[in-house]
Structure 1
Amino acid sequence: MRSLTVVGASVAGWHLVHALLAHGYEGPVTVVDRQTHHPYDRPPLSKEFLLGRRGVEGMRFGDYPSESNVVWRLGVEATALSDGAVELSDGSILAHDDLVIATGLRRPDLNLLTSPPQGVHELRTLDDALKLRLGLVRARNVVVVGGGFIGCEVASACRHLSVPVTIVEADERLGERSLGVHAHLVEALHETHGTSVITGARVTEFVGDPVTAVRLADGRNLSADLVVVGIGSMPATKWLEGSSLELGNGVRCDTLARTNLPGVYAIGDVAEVESEWASGPRRFEHWTSAVDQAMTLADHLVGRPPRSPSPPYWWFDIYGHRIQVAGRLDLEDDVRVVDVGGGYLATHHVDGAPVGVAAVDSPREFARVRRTLTPPFPGPSGSWSAR
């Protein structure tokens, strides 16, 4: 069996190895990750874990059998890719037959985060969540910079703990990039639960060390003894620069996760993949997309027939409400709001075909519509093997 190196013990990396073992893969597998924790689930970091409802052990994915062919290299980072080998931060070189890149995302290059004062937090890892959870116990005023779904969930956790919180968002509408015309639903939930929202505003400075305020571009100061910064992410591809791997907004790959280099694959948030759900290569930063890509690649590596790709799907939970989205909401389409009684459901159509759905507290109806979604860009996607 061919030797396999997986760089990134992410949700995509872990599910790939788990699926390979389930398929009977017997070749040597080495998993490399910069974190020292066993692979864990990340969505609960801003929900159950932050509120103390789940401990560290409860975050872990399952263990592999002790006799499995998987070797863990945790606490070490990939620094470069060469022909048939990965260079690691401890100076070692790891050779492979096949390589899977599942490094996920990294923080954006922001001056605000170059040397932040005490009391300024991010929420990307389990260690980040541990520090933030301790900080919230003593917090009196929280400012969340960035109104994405993680920022919204952190704000929801603050209100659950009766801590005053303000969200500062650079866009004119909160959640518009992910929810489009349905962004008003999130804004209404924040307003109902006492979360202050400032849109069209940019943070320029953290005041004090420990932090005492957040300064906006218009000169306003927002009192804060704890700040959570959630301003986007970038694909973790710096270590691949200078290699012959083709990079775009991530690692370019086809529908089977194949890159331009033989035996090199990419899955998860770092993968810019050809898809029937996009007009060109696109990264899908969703938990379910990462799992789907991992399962598809596992099938390919063991010679199983490829599965049909699922529509992009994501969800988040705020103030006891679940918001779900599947497919595409950002196309020139026809939006139809459906009466579901007590919840909210809207479908998006292109040329009469359903391509997207958004819902609040309507899981059964959402699941039904999700199964009917049609890819808006059907037809054979480009693949490296065909070039």
Structure 2
Amino acid sequence: LVLLISFGVGYSYGVNPDVVPISSSDIPGSIIQRPTDKPKDKPIKVNVSSGGTFCYGPNFSGGESYIVIEQCWQMHVMNARYDVFQRISYNINDTWLCITVPESVVKGETNWDYVHLRPCTINDPLQRWIVKENSFWTADERYRLKDTNWYAYISRNSGDRYNHTLDSSMSDWINTVATPGNISILTSIAWDLGSDRYFIRSGGSDKNTTPIYYNPESGHLAQYNPVSGLLSCMYSRVGSYDWNWVTWALCSDAPISKDNPAYWNVYLATEEGGMIMDYQGNALRVTRYGPNWGVAYAAKLSYLKKDTTYNPTSLFIVDRNLLNWVRYTVSNLGKTDQYCPAGKKENHNIRIKRTLPPDFQLTEE
């Protein structure tokens, strides 16, 4: 995965990202873009207020995940990455998990809480961290990452104890604009019945929003288990049948072939969403009546006209961030890719001469 540090998509803490319109008249003759840096993953080493140097260690205990501060040689300590999206991430069992701010504190529902690990996404503002005063702060600079009883937490009261600072050995790690481990998008998959909206989850649907993690590289649509730290992906099982129920099974962020029953594509049809297709072009559907109400399945397109018994639908509503991603990729891969993303047609014949350096070599990277 190679990313250039310059996007047509903007992100800010506490604000949903929007596609940034770029007109061709705003683009200079030469745009300097550089790829992200090669990661320099290492354990996060900190100096605590009582004296001494310790390390962050991801720990799953009591049905949740925490960041424990312990001796750097202890079992939970592992390499971390501070990437281009300002995420602090760990690769645990081939799944990228990020240190995530407790939403209850941000919303004012509680004064303090521990930080947890959640699947890394490019659109969750709760996963963005900056380094200020040699410490981690949320990207809006409101909350400092502190520790109590050797566990990392944030508090609405800036005077709460205890503060810790990054060790001087972390300087190079902090200044590395690292390639992200994944580019998953936090979303949900919803469908409407009259004035009611329901959300797909493993085993059915309900009115509670279920976080779904879409990995555009692997095509995974996954749920997260905070107890185990594992992902469970939706798999298509149509095969030679006209239709079949989807199943949910363990998966990870490890690369897979697109010819895979866990690979899904999102196609826009409305301002809010569209169709979701499996790797063979079968449509994801959900029953809206009957004994299997709200259960997701996939069906061949040739079967859809006959598939009317329980008033199913193939039209789903997804998060705006996922829509923006689809629009971004389509604009870059479509027939209008000479524009950015769909610039002024009258300018398409204007060419700017660019000279390559004499030592330029074309490589696979």
TM-score by length of 1: 0.24
TM-score by length of 2: 0.25
Which structure has more helix as a fraction of its residues? Answer: 1
Larger gyration radius, structure 1 or structure 2: 2
